Amino acid sequence: MAVGSFPAHVAFAQGMRLNRLISAVLKHDDLSIRVGGGEGNETTSDWTRDRAEIQSATAKTDPTYYVVGRNGEEVGRVVLTFGADDDAVSDWSWADGSEGAEALMNQLVEV
């Protein structure tokens, strides 16, 4: 069972987790997401705050990562892994030199 427009290989619990992560990002007016992934780790979307666009771009990538940005500048990345584990968040990092990025990224992935 898929959640929203996530692909079928994303388990229901993982889709719910991704929706919470997306909501946590979009709660901040100055944050947006760019989706990337695939074999070459290309970005598949522009910066967006549109949930449907984020879900659609997620459906086109495997492996997948979300780049979190503030005003078009990268703040951090969340690496997503889909499989048996309920938590799709595999790893995350923050951009060096971006003030408050570490605390923000830790807060976002804790939802």
Distance of CA 16 to the CA centre of its chain: 12
Contact predicate 34/67, CB 8 Å = yes
Cβ contacts of 40-46, under 8 Å, gap ≥ 24: 41/65, 43/67
Span 14-28, pLDDT tens digits: 888 888 889 999 999
- Give the tokens for residue 40: 């070459």
Alpha helices in 32-71 (DSSP H): 51-59
> How high is the pLDDT of residue 2?
44
Q: Residue 5: pLDDT band by 50, 70, 90 thresholds?
A: low
> How high is the pLDDT of residue 108?
84
> How high is the pLDDT of residue 86?
67
Span 36-56, pLDDT tens digits: 986 666 777 889 999 989 988
83-106: average pLDDT: 78
Contact predicate 2/9, CB 8 Å = no
Question: How many Å apart are CA 47 and CA 32, to the nearest integer?
Answer: 6
Pairing of strands 73-80, 89-94: antiparallel
